[in-house]
Structure 1
Amino acid sequence: MKKDITIPKVKEVYIAVVQEKHLEYQTQDWNAYIINNSDKELDTVLILSQGYSESKMTPPMRHSIAKLPARSFAKIEYLQEDVLELNNSFKLSFFQGNQMFDKTYVFRKNTINTRAFQPIPLMNTNGILVK
């Protein structure tokens, strides 16, 4: 029975962390985004995020996005500085048409920093990207 269930490979959907200026508090904040760089809309996007290490674990955060249009992005959450020293996992599930997709993206501990910046698709900014 399990062998009959196929979940296809996720393509052109990424998680990025970018540093942005908070206009009200005048701080540089780290924010996580989902990027749909595909030509198809994503439906019923569910995201479970959590920071962890061998000795620490943050409470899981659950997020949902009803629809994410093709070639677009959406903010998932703000990341506190303390969480950057942990592994940060984003478990993503969504539908494209009638097909379900599932993937886990992990930012390894201490990899979210300005030295790791690279161009982020669709966002016209630099940040850290996990494909």
Structure 2
Amino acid sequence: MKKDIEIPKVEDVYVAAVKVFNKDLNSDEWNAYIVNDKEVDLEMVLIVSKGLSKDKKTAVMRHKVDKLPAKSYAKIEYLQDDVLALVNTFEVSFFEDNKMFDKSFIFKENTINENALQRVPVMDVQGVYVK
């Protein structure tokens, strides 16, 4: 029975942490984004995020994006500086061509930092992302 279940592989979808300037607070802050680098739209994107360490954990946050167009991105949440020292997990589920896809995107502790910056696909900005 298990061998008959097809689990499609998630490709060209990323979670990125990007440092942006907040005009209201007059400071830089990290934000998490879901990035769709596919040629097709993603529908009903559900994201569950949390941060964990041996002795700390954050609240579980839930987010929904009804439709994420091809070659686009959407903000998931603000990342407080304290959370960057934790393992940050983003469980992402979505529909593409009436098939459900699911993947965990994991940022290991302290990997979201200025030294790890690289070009984020689609967004064309510097950030840290997980495939």
Q: Same fold (TM over 0.5)?
A: yes
**2:121 paired residue number:** 121
Render the CA deviation track for 1:44-86: whole Å, top value 9, x for unaligned.
0000000001111111000000000000000000000000000
Report the Cα offset of residue 6 of structure 1: 1.3
Counterpart AA for 1:72: S
SS in 1 for 2:93: strand
After superposition, residues 1-131 of structure 1 pair within 5 angstroms as 1-131=1-131
Q: Distance in 1 between matches of 2:74 and 2:105?
A: 16
Render the CA deviation track for 1:15-46: whole Å, top value 9, x for unaligned.
00000000111110100000000001000000
**Among the aligned pairs, what percent are the same residue?**
53
SS in 2 for 1:90: strand
CA RMSD of aligned residues (A): 0.7
Q: Distance in 2 between matches of 1:39 and 1:122?
A: 11
Counterpart AA for 1:19: K
TM-score (norm 1): 0.97
Counterpart AA for 1:71: K
Any unmatched runs of 5+ in structure 1?
A: none
Render the CA deviation track for 1:67-114: whole Å, top value 9, x for unaligned.
000000000000000000000000000000111100000000001000
TM-score (norm 2): 0.97
Counterpart AA for 2:57: M
Q: Distance in 1 between matches of 2:20 and 2:124?
A: 12
Any unmatched runs of 5+ in structure 2?
A: none
Counterpart AA for 1:103: K
Q: Distance in 2 between matches of 1:4 and 1:40?
A: 26
Query: Which 4+ stretches in 1 moved above 4 angstroms?
Result: none
Q: How many residues align?
A: 131
